[in-house]
Amino acid sequence: MNKQIKFIDLGLMDYKEAWDYQQNLFDEIVEIKKQNRKKNKNLKTPNYFLLVEHPHVYTLGKSGDLSNLLIDGSELKNKNASFYKINRGGDITYHGPGQIVGYPILDLENFFTDIHKYLRFLENSVIQTLEYFGIKGERNPGKTGVWIDINKPFPKKICAMGVRASRWVTMHGFALNVNVDLDYFNNIIPCGLSDHTVTSIKNELNQSDINIEGVKDLLKNNFSKTFNSEFI
């Protein structure tokens, strides 16, 4: 088992370019696992944790409903936004500058083989990060991600999640709203849920822009502790 994780900060990167980058790392791990089983080898599989910001983009999960995108192609162009149907779980979401997107590319056989536990660990890493800012992040029963005010009429989602896993290798991940322009969420029914709103760390604190590099450091530390791992 290899609990070391290589950390890579991709900065601001086009969504499709980052998706291809993820896919290459995912394929690398899967190929090692295939060779291990085929040739009775015991080569260690690597793990990766990518952080990135994307230019404006809407993505629709494989089980999502296209009607949850409320604007057409010309309006997307006017908003300088792109759109992709992708192979993660979940419905529609938005990514943009000021939002930290995390892509753990892990061989879960290095940690545990339980997708539900994996999602809870991702949520826990974000909840601990929000605690630093005095924000109470919570789980919302029956819904993935991290929420605020879950007992009020309109719970607020601060972090969306959608993952894919094959042969116990993960890709895609979470999107934590830090300084993101929340107006872009008005163009979709986020995650297909019409009875909730979306918020950000900046919005909850009613402050000017939050130091996004500091939030990345907190996420890294909390992810490492939650997964009992070491970044390299």
User: What is the distance in angstroms between the CA of the first residue and the CA of the last residue of the chain?
Assistant: 16
pLDDT digits (tens, 9 = 90+) for 189-201: 765 555 678 999 9
pLDDT digits (tens, 9 = 90+) for 199-231: 999 999 998 899 999 999 999 999 999 999 999
Helix (H, G, I), strand (E, B) or coil at 159: strand
What pLDDT, on the 0 to 100 scale, is given for residue 193? Answer: 58
What pLDDT, on the 0 to 100 scale, is given for residue 149? Answer: 93
Query: Over pLDDT 70: what percentage of the chain?
Result: 97
Number of domains observed in the structure of the chain: 1
What is the arithmetic mean of pLDDT over 124-129?
Answer: 98
- Whether residue 230 is contained in a domain is answered as no
- The residues facing 99 across adjacent strands are 177
What pLDDT, on the 0 to 100 scale, is given for residue 127? Answer: 98
Share the mean pLDDT of the chain.
92
- Whether residue 132 is contained in a domain is answered as yes
- Lowest mean pLDDT of 21-30, 72-81, 143-152, 156-165, name the range: 72-81
pLDDT digits (tens, 9 = 90+) for 8-67: 999 999 999 999 999 999 999 999 999 988 877 788 999 999 999 999 999 988 878 888
Burial grade of 96 (CB within 10 A; 0-12, 13-18, 19 or more):
buried
191 is catalytic: yes
Q: In this structure, what are the phi and psi dihedrals at residue 111, rounded to the nearest 5 degrees?
A: -125, -70
What is the arithmetic mean of pLDDT over 96-109?
Answer: 98
CA–CA dist 28, 11 (Å, integer) = 22
- Whether residue 232 is contained in a domain is answered as no
Q: Where in 19-108 does DSSP place strands (E)?
A: 48-53, 57-60, 82-85, 92-95, 99-105
- CATH code, domain carrying 174: 3.30.930.10
How many residues in the chain? 232
What pLDDT, on the 0 to 100 scale, is given for residue 65? Answer: 84
The shares of helix, strand and coil residues in the chain, as percent rounded to the nearest 5, are 35, 30, 35
Q: What b/e sequence results for 119-141 when a residue is b if at least 16 CB atoms lie within 10 Å of its CB, and e otherwise?
A: bebbbbbbbbbbeebebebbbbe
- Whether residue 231 is contained in a domain is answered as no
Q: Which candidate, 26, 93, 24, places its Cα nearest to that of 58?
A: 93
pLDDT digits (tens, 9 = 90+) for 63-85: 788 888 888 888 888 888 999 88
Determine which one of 25, 127, 191, 218 is catalytic.
Answer: 191
What is the arithmetic mean of pLDDT over 111-125?
Answer: 97
- Whether residue 229 is contained in a domain is answered as no
Q: In this structure, what are the phi and psi dihedrals at residue 95, rounded to the nearest 5 degrees?
A: -125, 145
Q: What range defines the domain where residue 61 resides? A: 4-224
What pLDDT, on the 0 to 100 scale, is given for residue 194? Answer: 58
What pLDDT, on the 0 to 100 scale, is given for residue 114? Answer: 97
- Whether residue 47 is contained in a domain is answered as yes
- Whether residue 28 is contained in a domain is answered as yes
- Whether residue 213 is contained in a domain is answered as yes
Q: Please identify which residue in the block is written with the tokens 């601990």.
A: 128
